[in-house]
Structure formats: structure tokens, C-alpha cells
Amino acid sequence: MTRVREAIGVLFVVPVLWAADPSFTGSVYPVFEKANCRACHAENGVASGSRLHFPAAGADDKELEAFGRRLYSLINPAKPEDSLLVAKPTAKVKHTGGRVVRPESPEETALVTWARHLARIGPDPDATDAPVKAVRLAMRRLTHSQYNNTVRDLLGDQTGPAAQFPGEDFVNGFKNQSEAQSIPALLAEAYGAAAEKLARNAFRGGDPQGLLPCREATGACREAFVRRFGQRAFRRPLTALEEQRYTALAAREQELTAGAQLVIEAMLQSPSFLFRTERGTPESRPWEIASRLSYFLWDTMPDEALFEAAAGGKLTEPGEVERQARRMLRDARARTATEEFVSQWLRFDRVLTAVKDRRQFPMFNTETAWAMTEETRLFLNSLIWSDASFMDAFSARYSFLTPDLAKLYGLPEPAEPFARVEFPAASERAGLLGQATFLSATSKPAETSPTARGLFIREQFLCQHVPDPPPGTNANLPALSEDRPMTTRERLGVHLSNASCAGCHRLIDPIGFGLEKFDAVGGLREKQKVEFLATRIERDKKPVTFELDLDTTGEIAGLPDATFTTAREMGGILAASPRCQECVVKQVFRYGYGRMETAADRPVIQEAFERFKTSGFRFQELLVALAKAHAGGE
């Protein structure tokens, strides 16, 4: 009996304490944490557009309590127990994330108690979501593509030495994120070997690039070389101490070119070359702006015009950054830089390194994979550089095909490779979603993956982070058998019926279901073939093949009117969605700034988005808007 009383006491005493002296951090916030609400209701979560918006990870108790007060917007003061704060997580009203709090549980009691508390005390007059001041970015290492482009423009070297460097990791969807830009031992060793080779080749056959300002090995000549080359290599004027040290290094060799070679080898291993270092001083700022512009718009070092503008202090004048940005977009290097962004954003690497079942997809090989990514590159180039709406990337009814791709797509062969091909009126293809680049990159070797396709669309096209599965989650699907052949959609149904899986998979699988008419390499299919081959024991048994009907009804949960049955319909939904439109801005921001956006970046994102939208979604205008913001500081 004592144990029963103690148990009853726990059930009734805790709510009484909450009612008397409620603590959001101690009573309600743990409910949210247990339900993993932050994963969706964060800056880039699936529910980032809702009124429930968590503070940054690591927020202190004071910030959490303030967050708890802001939840008043989710309260029904007249009937707190019916508030959205309670009804949404318990799924008493439609909740995209499903039921994450069990009705009549202690967790629901905590939510009801807090709702009643907020209804009693009213809204916090001092509540604000004003962003905090951004942290200034101090250093960013040159990416491998930037390294290759920089030594090309600095030394005239076209060998692409960074191809031999250790591979770069994708973080936040890109390979240039500052949080992953350390220099491990293998990379440091590769930098040293590359510097030695580049310095040696710089004067092979004389001085083909005109690096030396004079021909006599005098002190003045060495100083002039160090000063001029150093400014270009470090993207800023050298300090007096640096000039002295590098001139002394050059003087170790009697021959002018031999001394210059030593200087080049040393400078190419300096942090001032390998990193884009920002001091933020009035003297350094024009040079830092020049580098920001060049590496954002060209993926390489500044040219002479930018160096001259920096030296003259012009880059801090109103309007000069935009003038330079527009000049730079007319240069061929802008196309190359934009293509680097596109290749990372759309994960060309996954296609180029993909392995597909040769028995099912005999036409898929290295050349086909390259043709797929080339189709996408030419397609987006046509939108960007003709000043068309970039949102046509999701809804355009044409593409650029080779004969092999046209055959894969079931279309007439083009007159020449990569000619523009218009899709028939009845075609279900449209934009990126109908291209083999996307469809192949998000499939398995032998079958499609609605989950991977839905996840890619959430993360790359809607900028929404889907939570990782809970530890220990069983991801195995029901085994196929001749007695019960199933489509991929039917097998994935286990995700939606399992409570530990459904919360996330209902956000991604239904998106991919709408693309099931496209196979693992992007070919069109009307039915799904399920084949059972003979085992070693059943050598004489013939293969058994089933052709199953496809249900391609799909939905993008969280977007209004977002049901579809074809890639063409989904492309139209994305093209018209402000969430997708703003995601394009965020993706360019992440790539250009080398980091994820924060709450402090909301004004920059919003201003760039408005300019992008007002221009008719012209991508060049977006680049100019973000270039101006990036040059102006963080």
C-alpha cells in the first residue's frame, strides 16, 4: 500500500508543483527534447515556417525561459487545454510530424499546465526574436577548385595539382564549409609537394608568365619581385617584415630565377596563400572585399582591376561593389564558378561515382554518367546566362540531350549531341526532377529509393533538415517472396506503420512515391518489375518476373496544395513555392559564405530573396545581391 501511495503521490504532486511554480526549462522543455521537436522546428527544420521556433542549440536557461514565454502565440487563452501547443504534438489536430506526445500522458499534462500558466500571465511584452550580432568570419582555406584556379591565374599553371590532394568532405551540402577546412598531415604534405613542383615549373623555358620585373639579380630587382608577386599571392600588400624575410630568402641564390623559385615555393605554403585571412582593419578591408568578390563570383583570386580598385580604396565606395560584380559576371570565369556551385549543390559526384546493376541497366557507364551531369550543367547554364527565371529549373519542358539520353527518356534522337529537345505535351518529365542526374543520384544500384529522393528534395530544394533516425532503428524492409511480390512503395509502408520511423518517413517517403515511374537511372517505366532468380540449389529453375502496378500519388507535407502524381506536377509545386524560392537563396548563401546561415543572417537572406523575386528570379541578380552583402561584412 505504501508503494501505491508513493506512486499516486508522484502522479499528483508534480502537476501541483508545476501549477504553483511552473518552470519551462525544468518541466516543459524536456518534453520537447524527448519528442525531438527541435529537429523539425529549428532554423532549417521541416517546420521552420511554423510559429514554434526553437532557440539555437546550447541556449542557456534564461533564453529557454524566454522561449517558453513566446509560446503564448500557440495558446488559446479561453480554453488552454485546447491550445495548439497541446493539440499539435498529440495529433488532436493535423500535425505534419504525427503524434509525438501520447494523450493523457505526463508529458501532455506538462504541456496543459504550461498552457494554463501562459493564459493566466499573458504575453511577454519584452519578448523579441531580434537576431544577435553575427560572428565575423576570420579564415577560410582555399578549396581544391580554388587552389587550382588560383595557381592557374597566379602562375599560368594548367595542371590542376589539387586533383592529387586528399578528397574534401561535403558538409552542409558543400565542400567549402569553414567548419571542415582543417589541414591534416596528408594535405599539408600534398601542399608542400605541389608548391615545389609549381615553383620549379614557373621558370621552365625562361619566364613565360612574366613573373620577374627585371633580369638582373640585384637587391632592388629581388625586392620588386617579392613585393609584386607577394601582393598577388597573398591577395594583399606584404608587411615590411614579410618583404624583408622573402627578399632575404631570394638572396640565398645568386641566380635571379633560382631565388624567385625559392620565394614562390615558400609563399605557396604560407597560411597567407592557403587561407583567406581577414583582419577586419580599415587598411585590410578593401583587399578582403576584393578576395570575397573574386572567390564568390570567380572561384579564384582577384584580377588586376580588383587589385587596383582595392589599392585605390574604391571598393568601400557606394555602388562600386555592384559595378565590379556586374563586370565580373560578364567574364567567362563566372560561368566556371557557377558550374562548381551547381555540381556540388546537385551532387554530381554521386552520379559520376555511381554503380548500377549492369544486368538491369546495361547502358549505364562512365560516359553515360558524364552525359547526365552535362545535361544538367547545360540546362542550368541556359537559365542563368539568358536571364530566364531560375525557378524554371523545376518546371521547364525541355532539356539538352545526347542520343543515348534521348533513348533513355523515350524521346526522338536530337540532331546533334546536347541539342535542345522539347518534351511532348504528354510527357511527365519537367526540369531537374525529370533529369537522370537527380534520379540516378537518389537511387540504389538496382532499384529506386523514394526515401533518398524525398530526402534530397527536402534538403536541397526546400532547405529543410530531416532528423536522423533514432539509435538502433531497424531500417530493413520486408523481404520479397514469390508468394507476395511487393512494390517499393508497399515495402516502405513499414516505415509509416512503425511509430519510431513514421515521424520522419512521412515527411520524405510520400515525396519519392510520386517519382516511382522513373527507374534507378531515370528511365520511364509504367510498372515495377520484381524478379526472382534461381539460387545455386535451384539451378534449373527459370527466373520469375512480376510486373506490378505503380501508385505514384505523392505529397510534400507542410506545403499547401502539394499533392501530385508526376515529376511535372511536383516541379510546378516547387517552382511556385516561396519555400523553394528562398531555399535557392540560402544554398547560394551557404556556398558563397562558406557556412550555414544563422538567425543574424535573416535580414541578408530576406533582402536577397526580395531582390531575387522582384527580378523575376534571375540568378545573376541573386549573385549581385549576395555579393554586395558579402562584401559589406558578415
Instruction: Among 5-9, 258-262, 536-540, name the most confident range.
Output: 258-262
Spatial CB neighbours of 281, under 8 Å, sequence gap ≥ 6: none
Q: What is the pLDDT of residue 539?
A: 66
Q: What was the pLDDT predicted at 153?
A: 98
User: 5 pLDDT exceeds 50?
Assistant: no
pLDDT tens-digit map of 558-569: 999 999 999 999
Q: How confident is the model at residue 37 (pLDDT cuts 50, 70, 90)?
A: confident
Q: How far apart are CA 512 and CA 329, in angstroms?
A: 36
Confidence of residue 426 (pLDDT cuts 50, 70, 90): very high
Q: Give the CA distances from residue 372 to residues 294, 442, 448, 518, in Å, rounded to whole numbers and listed in that order.
A: 29, 13, 17, 15
Distance between CA atoms of residues 189 and 191, nearest Å: 5
Classify residue 204 as exposed, middle or buried by CB count within 10 Å of its CB (0-12, 13-18, 19+): exposed
The pLDDT score that the predictor gives to residue 22 is 66
Q: Which residue has the higher pLDDT, 182 or 125?
A: 182
Cα dihedral: 202, 204, 207, 213 (round 10): 50
CB 192 within 8 A of CB 269: yes
What pLDDT, on the 0 to 100 scale, is given for residue 221? 96
Q: Nearest-CA neighbor of 151 among 198, 193, 196?
A: 198
- Residue type for position 483: D
Nearest partner of 557 among 508, 516, 514, judged by Cα: 508
CB 93 within 8 A of CB 137: no
**139 beta partners:** 277
- DSSP assignment string, 614-629: HTTSBHHHHHHHHHHH
In the prediction, which pLDDT does 309 show? 97
Q: By mean pLDDT, which of 65-69, 374-378, 586-590, 594-598 is the weakest?
A: 65-69
Give the Cα separation of 516 and 494 in Å (integer).
Answer: 17
User: In a 3-state reduction of DSSP, which class is residue 574?
Assistant: helix
Instruction: Give the pLDDT mean for 608-618.
Output: 98
Tell me the C-alpha distance between 491 and 493, whole Å: 5
Asked if pLDDT for residue 438 goes beyond 50, the answer is yes
265, 250, 140: which is closest to 192 by C-alpha? 265
Q: Alpha-carbon distance 377 to 375, whole Å? A: 6
Tally of CA atoms within 13 A in the half-sphere of 207 that contains its CB: 12
Instruction: Categorize the per-residue pLDDT at 65 as very low, low, confident or very high, splitting at 50, 70 and 90.
Output: confident
The mean pLDDT of 487-508, rounded to a whole number, is 82
Helix (H, G, I), strand (E, B) or coil at 96: coil
Residue with cell 585571412: 277
Report, as an integer, the average pLDDT of 153-174.
96
Containing 36, the helix (H) or strand (E) segment is none
C-alpha cell of residue 252: 640565398
Give percent of the chain with pLDDT exceeding 70: 90
Coil, helix or strand at residue 561: coil
d(CA 300, CA 333): 8
Q: According to the model, what pLDDT value does residue 333 have?
A: 98
CB atoms within 10 A of CB 517: 19
Q: How large is the average pLDDT for residues 365-372?
A: 97
Domain boundaries, the chain: 2-121, 139-333, 343-576, 578-631
Q: How many CB atoms lie within 10 A of CB 588?
A: 21
Q: Which of 186, 149, 154 is nearest to 168 (CA)?
A: 186
Taking the C-alpha atoms of residue 67 and residue 210, their distance in angstroms, rounded to an integer, is 62
Residue of higher predicted confidence among 402 and 534: 402
- Is the pLDDT at 173 greater than 50? The verdict is yes
- What CA–CA distance (Å, rounded) separates 343 from 282? 36
Q: Cα separation of 107 and 470, whole Å?
A: 19
The alpha-helical segments, DSSP class H, found in 37-126 are 61-70, 84-87, 106-121
Question: Within the chain, how many helices (H) and strands (E) appear?
Answer: 26, 8
Q: How confident is the model at residue 407 (pLDDT cuts 50, 70, 90)?
A: very high
What are the CA-CA distances from residue 80 to residues 97, 471, 493 (Å)?
A: 22, 35, 36
Contact in structure between 219 and 244 (CB atoms under 8 Å): no
Q: Give the DSSP H/E element, type plus range, for residue 549.
A: strand 544-549
| pLDDT (0 to 100) of residue 536 | 60
Kindly report the length of the chain.
Answer: 634
* pLDDT above 90: percentage of residues in the chain: 65
Mean pLDDT value across the chain: 88
Q: What is the pLDDT of residues 276-289, one digit of tens each?
A: 988 888 899 999 99
pLDDT at 220 over 60: yes
Phi/psi at 420 (5° precision): -70, 130
Structure confidence at residue 210 (pLDDT): 96
Contacts for 407 with CB less than 8 Å, ≥ 6 apart: 363, 413
- pLDDT over threshold 90, residue 195: yes
Q: What is the mean pLDDT of residues 311-337?
A: 96
Cβ neighbours of residue 436 closer than 8 Å, sequence gap 6 or more: 351, 372, 375, 405, 408, 409, 521, 522
- Split at pLDDT 50, 70, 90, the class of 218 is very high
pTM: 0.84
Please, which contacts does 322-331 make with residues 24 or more away whose CB atoms are closer than 8 Å?
322/624, 322/627, 322/628, 324/293, 325/293, 325/297, 325/623, 325/624, 325/627, 325/628, 326/624, 328/293, 328/294, 328/297, 328/298, 329/297, 329/620, 329/623, 329/624, 331/298
Which single residue is written with the C-alpha cell 501547443? 85
pLDDT of the residue at 2: 40
C-alpha cell at 23: 518552470
What pLDDT is recorded for position 474?
A: 66
Mean pLDDT of 74-90: 83
Q: How far is the C-alpha of 112 from the C-alpha of 86, rounded, in Å?
A: 6
Amino acid 357: pLDDT? 95
pLDDT at 9 over 90: no
Query: How far from 145 is each of 349, 604, 620, 631, CA to CA, in Å?
Result: 14, 27, 21, 21
CA 467/CA 476 separation, integer angstroms = 18
* HEC-encoded secondary structure of 228-252: HHHHHHHCCCCCHHHHHHHHHHHCC
Q: 29: pLDDT confidence band, cut at 50, 70 and 90?
A: confident
3-state secondary structure of 554: strand
Q: Quote the pLDDT of residue 537.
A: 63
Q: pLDDT tens digits, residue range 226-243?
A: 999 999 999 999 999 999
What's the longest Cα–Cα distance across the chain? 103
CA-to-CA distance for 3 and 157, rounded, in angstroms?
A: 81
CA distance 442 to 432: 12
